Amino acid sequence: MRIVHYVNQFYAGLGGEAEAGIGPRALEGTVGPGRLLSQLLGDEHEIVVTLVCGDDYAASNTAVAEELVGMAREAGAELLVAGPAFGSGRYGLVCARLVAAAEAAGLPALASMHPDNPGISDAGGAPVVAAGASSRQMRPTLQTVAAAIAKLATGANLTVADGRVARAARVGQLVDQRAAARAVELVLRRLAGDRESTEVPVGGFDVVTPSAPVDKLASATVALVTEGALVPAGNPDRLESARATRWLRYPIEGMDSLASGKWESVDGGFATTAANADPNRIVPLDTVRRLERDGVIGRLHNELLVTVGNGTQVASARRFGVEWAAELRKAGVQAAILTAT
């Protein structure tokens, strides 16, 4: 196959952050990690052109993906390979968008990045195989990529066994055995001790260990936290309306209620009219303050922790959760009420 390989400015050897603003360009033959990939691929497949773009330029211009796909086509690509991007956010995002754009244009494509790369979901249903967390895992990652390329060349789809990660498009296919026979076979395998085999892999999420129950609510400190993007009117700290990269804290000490006009939700994922008319609909400060006064809880924590859950990557959300837990524990908080939209 004629392969066109995409790498960022760093792996192309053009420079680091100072060169992250450079636009798309095509280089003849293999560059950087493409050299080892080419060796691993052997003689059957050839990397004819390497496309390069600066991470900042490519990540901030969504039209770049289509432009690069056009360049790959001009080079006669039969397959576009992007990365490996490892854990790098901008690079991963660009690789993901690139394979999504290529597949949408009918050009087979393959990206590689770490499963926790925040850009991974932008690949849509286009194939992505797992990379290590950093370039120290270059060789084993490229071995996975090379094996995936060889399989794609036969016209087969990649599966979990090939290191496939992220969302996979469902493709109809004819199989020899009817569903009932396959189901019985799976049951027999399970009875024989196989816990992994399935035809429908379910997305993996963390197993969350529930915290121990609060012993005495009447003396407990309770915190309010939300992913509904409730911020002071005007959004002074510029919280994102989607795909949060951070969280914020706001003092609520001495406040009996969240006043309309003083607070607003900047969440881009739902109609905020009701929440803005009465922000207690999204963070129940008025009620919790009353319960504090009535002695039902000991104390309300003096800060509201806020982020936006709209389109936010699981990896980012996991980090916010860990940081919130550490923060609240340090402040002596025993329970948190998370309102989620």
Partner 1 sequence: MITNLVTIAEQVGAPRIVPGRGIPYPSGDPNVPPSAEQSWRRRLVQRALDAVATAVERPTIFEVGDVEEAHA
According to CB under 8 A, which one of 62, 157, 211, 219 is a site residue for partner 1?
211
Tally Cβ neighbours within 10 Å of residue 158: 19
**Measured CA angle at 199 (ends 193, 200), to 5 deg:** 110
According to CB under 8 A, which one of 28, 176, 199, 206 is a site residue for partner 1?
206
Q: Which residue stretch of 80-88, 169-177, 203-211, 237-245 sits at the interface with partner 1 (rule: CB under 8 A)? A: 203-211
Residues 255-294 that bind partner 1 (CB under 8 A): 270-275, 277-278, 280-284, 286-288, 290-291
**Is the CB of residue 9 less than 8 Å from the CB of residue 52?**
yes
What contacts 148, CB < 8 A, 6 or more positions away? 110, 112, 127, 129, 158, 162, 163, 164
CA distance 326 to 137: 31
In the complex, what is the shortest distance from the CB of residue 291 to partner 1, in angstroms, rounded to a whole number?
7
Tally Cβ neighbours within 10 Å of residue 262: 12
Taking the least distance from each CB to partner 1, the nearer of 77 and 285 is 285
Cα 325 to its chain centre, rounded Å, is 21
Taking the least distance from each CB to partner 1, the nearer of 92 and 228 is 228
Q: Which residue stretch of 28-36, 75-83, 105-113, 209-217 sits at the interface with partner 1 (rule: CB under 8 A)? A: 209-217
Count of residues interacting with partner 1 (CB under 8 A): 40
Distances in Å between the Cα of 208 and the Cα atoms of 40, 185, 188, 205, 318 are 40, 32, 31, 9, 11
Buried b (16+ CB within 10 A) or exposed e, 100-133: bbbbeeebbbbbbbbbbbbbbbbbbebbbbbbbe
Q: Which residue stretch of 49-57, 74-82, 214-222, 240-248 sits at the interface with partner 1 (rule: CB under 8 A)? A: 214-222
204 scored as a contact of partner 1 (CB under 8 A)? no
In the complex, what is the shortest distance from the CB of residue 292 to partner 1, in angstroms, rounded to a whole number?
11
Taking the least distance from each CB to partner 1, the nearer of 120 and 288 is 288
Binding site for partner 1 (CB under 8 A): 205-215, 217, 222, 228, 270-275, 277-278, 280-284, 286-288, 290-291, 296-297, 335, 337-341
